[in-house]
Amino acid sequence: MADRLEIEGVVEAVRDVVGVAGSIALHEPEFSGNEKTYLNHCIDSTFVSSIGEFVDRFEAMLSERTGSRHAIACVNGTAALQVALQLAGVRTNDEVIVPALTFVATANSVSFSGAVPHFLDSESRTLGLSAKALAERLDAIGERGPQGIRNAETGRRIAAIVPMHAFGHPVDLAGLMEVAETWNIPVVEDATESLGTLYRNRHTGTFGLLSALSFNGNKIITTGGGGAILTGDDELARRAKHITTTAKLPHRWAFDHDEIGYNFRLPNLNAALGCAQLEQLDDFVERKRRLAARYRAAFERIPGIKVFVEPVGARSNYWLNALLLDENEAEQRDELLDALNDAGVMSRPAWTLLHWLPMYRECPRGSLPVAESLARRIVNVPSSARLAHA
Ligand SMILES: *Cc1c(COP(=O)(O)O)cnc(C)c1O
């Protein structure tokens, strides 16, 4: 078996890229800008909680940076996705199409709305939801009716499609939007991993009716915890702000609420951190792209494994670098993960496919050959922006 993957060679190649000394985290935040200045300002002002100038400023900066007409900050990306789905019209007992290969929060946000996730396949070109799988599935089970599109097998309405830009690489938005428009089903983008990523020169998260961003500690910028809803629709933006801020009616002193709202506000303290982080986003993206190029070069001559490269038409943020084992080498993945982690290089596989998790085992799904293959072959390796200096 001359072409067997050389585990030692792979560990060496990763070590060459990330530096030879010490243990290396998968992803760590970097605070080398105005973080402390803004946080001090925030504390001095006493406005650390749900009211304050940094929230407005952060939202304005997000809107400007992404080109989205509106950005509404919230407490985390999962909450942003949950509210985005609700505003897209997802209701109890609806079905929502999501990729099987994603972080569990994509499906959980569907469940929080009382709806059921319907898992479809990914494509290896993007690692994201396949437009072809979507079109074929809708042709097979989609039924047009007075309430919209029904899944003929389950009787439930298919209320939304949620593509996710995995590891910061955009899905085939042109293909997916075309299918979604043909069937008149709203698209909500899970753009929690793709802040700074462009698809055909336009920011991911601005193609769907709504989208969600995340600023969790491991994402490309962090607010500690945090998220945002993006939308180009004025009324949806107004609704998003309203229901994430307890549905309180603005008044000098009266305390009135006109519906059941969430307390999903992003505290001013977190927004202050976000403003400082967003100022550095371009720099983070540049460095992460350089790091990705170095991984690519290091793996050029290593057989049995490849570095995943951004799809055509994309300018990815390369949030997490992904190595992709050849099909024949897939059974060596766990051995490789052990060797990398033993060597102090924190690495991990892709998420366990959602239809393999106990709570989602019975959900409707299409056939998932690509997602199942990718899930067995992906290894994420250290991707902090600072490693570009190593
Ligand atoms: C991070 C992430 C989320 C959720 O974001 P949180 O801010 O952690 O709630 C949702 N979907 C995907 C794919 C993510 O990577």
pLDDT bin (cut points 50, 70, 90) of residue 22 is: confident
Average pLDDT on 281-288 reads 98
Q: Within this chain, do residues 163 and 56 fall inside the same structural domain, yes or no?
A: yes
CA distance 351 to 372: 11
Q: Which of the listed residues 278, 308, 329 is the one where a domain comes to its end?
A: 278
Q: How many other CB atoms sit within 10 Å of the CB of residue 338?
A: 12
Nearest CA to ligand 1 atom 2: 192
Whether residues 166 and 315 share a domain: the answer is no
| Pair (166, 298) in one structural domain | no
pLDDT at 3: 58
In which domain, by residue range, is 16 found?
A: 4-29+281-389
Residues 300 and 353 in one domain: yes
Same domain, 24 and 162: no
Q: For residues 339, 342, 346 and 352, what is the CA-based torsion angle, rounded to 10 degrees?
A: 60
Mean pLDDT score across all residues of the chain? 96
Same domain, 252 and 294: no
- Predicted pLDDT of residue 50: 84
Q: Are residues 239 and 312 in the same domain?
A: no
> Are 305 and 264 within one domain?
no
What's the rounded Cα separation, in Å, for the pair 144 and 340? 51
The predicted-structure confidence for 60-88, as pLDDT tens digits, reads as follows: 999 999 999 999 999 999 999 999 999 99
**pLDDT-derived band of residue 51, with 50, 70 and 90 as boundaries?**
confident
Asked whether residue 355 carries a pLDDT value surpassing 80, the answer given is yes
pLDDT of res. 2? 47
Do 50 and 269 form a contact (C-beta atoms < 8 A)? no
Predicted confidence at residue 1, as pLDDT, reads: 47
285 Cα distance to chain centroid: 15
Spatial CA neighbour of 363 closest among 191, 141, 107, 143: 107
Q: Which residues contact 285 (CB under 8 A, 6 or more apart)?
A: 196, 220, 317, 318
Of 74, 101, 106, the residue with max ligand 1 atoms within 8 A of its CB, to mutate for a pocket test, comes to: 106
Q: Looking at residues 304-308, what average pLDDT do you find?
A: 96
- Angle, nearest 10°, between helix axes 7-18 and 281-298? 150
> What is the rounded CA–CA span in Å between residue 63 and residue 388?
28
Q: pLDDT category, 5, cuts 50, 70, 90?
A: confident
The total number of structural domains in the chain stands at 2
Closest ligand 1 atom to the C-alpha of 225? 7
Query: Going by DSSP bridges, is the β-strand pair 198-199/321-325 parallel, antiparallel, or unpaired?
Result: unpaired
- What does the pLDDT look like over 86-140, one tens digit per residue? 999 999 999 999 999 999 999 999 999 999 999 999 999 999 999 999 999 999 9
Average pLDDT over residues 359-388: 97
Domain boundary among 253, 278, 303: 278
Does the Cβ of 380 fall within 6 Å of ligand 1?
no
pTM of the model: 0.97
